[in-house]
Amino acid sequence: MTNGGVVPAMSRRRIAHVRRRSPRTPAWWRDAVGVLCWASVLVVVALWLSGRGAQLLAAGPADLLTSLGRLSGLVAADLLLVQVFLMARVPMIERSYGQDELARRHRLVGFWSFNLLMVHVALILGGYALRDHNNLLRETWNVVTTYGGMLLAVAGSIALTLVVVTSVRVARRALRYESWHLLHLYAYVGVGLSVPHEIWTGADFTTSALARVYWWSAYAVALAAILVYRVALPVWRTLRHGLTVREVVREGPGVVTVLLAGRGLHRMPVQAGQYFVFRFLDGPGWSRGNPYSLSASPAPDRLRVTAKAAGDGSSRLAGLRPGTKVAIEGPYGRLTGERRVTHKVAMFACGIGITPLRALLEELAYEPGDAVLVYRAHDLDDLVFRDELEQLAHRRGIAMHYVLGRRIRNRKSWLPESAAAWTDEDAMQQLVPGISQYDVYVCGPDLWMDAVCAAATGIGLPPNQLHQERFSW
């Protein structure tokens, strides 16, 4: 792989390097979160059983439909609260799962909740129509206009439908991130509007004191999680650390680095590889938050982020002025050093995916010769941080490989066209000999990451040594 394919390894030498300690996330956190989620569903089913849910299944067609409708509605409401917790940025959940896996689980739970909600509506209306000897349209009108909280529930259902429709892959691709994020907040509206209906007309609320205790507690805890972790904590960190824009640097075509100055950042639990949601308070559009990974190891008085123009938020970075105040949420993400299991690291980056990996190479502990960077780009001009990376490689003894050229068009591969004669696995072993002895970090476009991870897995890299985090939405 030459002539625009791979640039040879840089020279190496031992240096002293100041590194942060990476706090370990307790392994039991992940299991505890999963157990709590499943336990909440089991509690809901148990409450339905205690309310004669099972007995009513044999009481006739109307009661059968109504009872199943109650069950589907209760589980849908519970999963909706689970969704709220997944969106609430609770540290125990964030650090246990990571942004990409959390997004997948959030989407899966959301679709299940919405589908059960539709089943609930259909079964309840069908059961009521049989009981009242009405046609379905007349019964629907009667329920919506005469039952307590139903108009609010309809509005809530519309809000949730909007969230679900815009969460479908095709719709997400057609929307800007800022628009999608704003529409997604309607999930909170849907949850809030559904509460009066459940309180005023829900059979469990009106007949069971135990059920009322459970649901009031669940809603209270969900609300507290949102207020604490989505509102209070970001506001507190923003005021405490006082971040402002110090400098804006153009790194290349459409790529901008923003250096942020602040105070007491060493007290913030942030590591290389993580990201923040930033809001730059410089005028119209300030309320829309955008996630950016750190592109350098965090320092006690500064943070650095680098982004490529891909939407309104990232396009605004080039126009920021020094002194602009910055609001933050985070840090988030688990593409960090705390999950390492070996003393060697191999970084596979593509495009702007170099951002968190460059920070990790600066912060992680490793000996000269125990780190490799494989950086995929279209050409030399597209390499972000080229000078920095080569200086870092020289200081810390990192083997550097630039993998350049157009992508291979006739197969799914992480290699360029100039390396089409190689298999993905052979090329990986050539660039990182003995790769099974490394922790492998991967960041870049989704399809490219899929190819890298497939090659690493095909070689036999243990799953706990493969670290990735997807930043697609």
CA distance 350 to 471: 13
* Any domain includes 323: yes
Top-confidence residue, 306 or 181: 306
Nearest of 365, 339, 372 to residue 465 by alpha carbon: 339
Confidence grade of residue 176 (pLDDT, cut at 50, 70, 90): low
Q: What is the pLDDT of residue 147?
A: 79
The set of residues, in sequence order, having a beta carbon less than 8 Å from that of 174 and lying 6+ positions away, is none
Judged by average pLDDT, the poorest of 11-20, 240-249, 274-283, 436-445 is 11-20
Task: Return mean pLDDT, the chain.
Answer: 85
Do 76 and 191 fall into the same domain? Answer: yes
Q: Are residues 268 and 192 part of one domain? A: no
Would 8 be classed as within a structural domain?
no
Cβ within 8 Å of residue 329, ≥6 positions away: 89, 230, 234, 276, 277, 289
Amino acid at 245: V
The CATH code of the domain that includes 354 is: 3.40.50.80
Residue 279 lies in a domain: yes
Closest by CA to 279, choosing from 291, 261, 296, is 291
Do the domain assignments include residue 345? yes
Does 15 fall in a domain? no
Does 221 map to a domain? yes
Provide the pLDDT for residue 168. Answer: 67
Count CB atoms within 10 A of the CB of residue 230: 17
Are both 38 and 162 inside the same structural domain?
yes
61-87 and 27-50 are packed helices; what angle lies between their axes, rounded to 10 degrees?
A: 160
What's the chain's length in residues? 473
Q: Which residue has the higher pLDDT, 312 or 245?
A: 245
The helix or strand, by DSSP H or E, that contains position 350, with its residue range, turns out to be strand 344-350
* From 99-103, 151-155, 163-167, 466-470, the region with the lowest mean pLDDT: 163-167
Lowest mean per-residue pLDDT among 170-174, 369-373, 430-434: 170-174
Residue 11: the pLDDT is 32
Question: If you search the block for the tokens 């650390």, which residue do you land on?
Answer: 241
* CATH code where residue 292 lies: 2.40.30.10
Instruction: Please give the torsion angle defined by the CA atoms of residues 198, 201, 206 and 208, in that order, rounded to the nearest 10 degrees.
Output: -50
Q: What is the pLDDT of residues 13-43, one digit of tens each?
A: 333 334 444 457 787 888 898 899 999 999 9
More confident residue, 450 or 105: 450
Residue 148, CB half-sphere, CA atoms under 13 Å: how many?
11
323 and 343: one domain? no
Do 123 and 194 lie in one domain? The reply is: yes
Name the nearest CA neighbour of 100 among 273, 358, 351.
Answer: 273
Claim to verify: residue 146 and residue 34 sit in the same structural domain:
yes
Burial profile 189-205: b = 16 or more Cβ within 10 angstroms, e = fewer: bbbebbbbbbbeebbbb
Of residues 21 and 345, more confidently modeled: 345
pLDDT band, very low/low/confident/very high, at 316 (cuts 50, 70, 90): confident
Residues 77 and 178 in one domain: yes
The span from the CA of 361 to the CA of 392, in Å, is 8
CB 71 within 8 A of CB 45: yes
Together in a domain, 54 and 192:
yes
The answer to whether residue 9 sits within a structural domain is no
Residue 17 covered by a domain: no
- Which is nearest to 466 in space by CA: 425, 438, 428? 438
Cβ neighbours for 80, distance < 8 A, ≥ 6 positions apart: 113, 117, 160, 190, 191, 194
Pull the structure tokens for residue 37.
Answer: 């989620």
Please tell me the predicted confidence (pLDDT) of residue 16.
Answer: 34
Query: 153 and 50: one domain?
Result: yes
Q: Determine the pLDDT at residue 231.
A: 93
- Pair type for strands 326-332 and 275-280: antiparallel
Question: Tell me, what's the pLDDT at 177?
Answer: 60
Q: Are residues 210 and 323 in the same domain?
A: no
- Taking phi over 0 as left and psi of -120 to 50 as alpha, with beta for the rest, 133 belongs to left
**Per-residue pLDDT for 65 more than 50?**
yes
Predicted pLDDT at 229 = 93
Is the Cα dihedral 334, 340, 343, 346 positive or negative? Answer: negative
pLDDT at 181: 62
Report residue 247's pLDDT band, with 50, 70 and 90 as the boundaries: very high
Edge-first strand listing for the sheet containing 326-332 = 290-293, 275-280, 326-332
Could you give the angle at the alpha carbon of 443 between the alpha carbons of 27 and 413, nearest 5°? 120
pLDDT at 458 (0 to 100): 94
Residues 148, 36, single domain; the answer is: yes
Which structure tokens are listed for 314?
């990232």
Is the CA virtual torsion 451, 166, 100, 393 positive or negative?
positive
User: Above 60 in pLDDT, residue 312?
Assistant: no
C-alpha dist (Å) from residue 163 to 117, 188, 408: 14, 10, 36
pLDDT (mean) for 364-374: 95
Final residue in a domain of this structure, among 332, 350, 375:
332
Shared-domain flag, residues 291 and 357 = no
CATH of the domain at 32: 1.20.120
What is the number of domains present in the chain? 3
pLDDT of 305: 95
Nearest to 50 by CA among 212, 197, 217: 212
Domain residue limits at 158: 27-229
Query: Residue 273: exposed, middle, or buried by beta-carbon count in 10 A (0-12, 13-18, 19+)?
Result: buried
Q: Which one has a higher pLDDT value, 392 or 2?
A: 392
Identify the pLDDT of residue 3.
Answer: 37
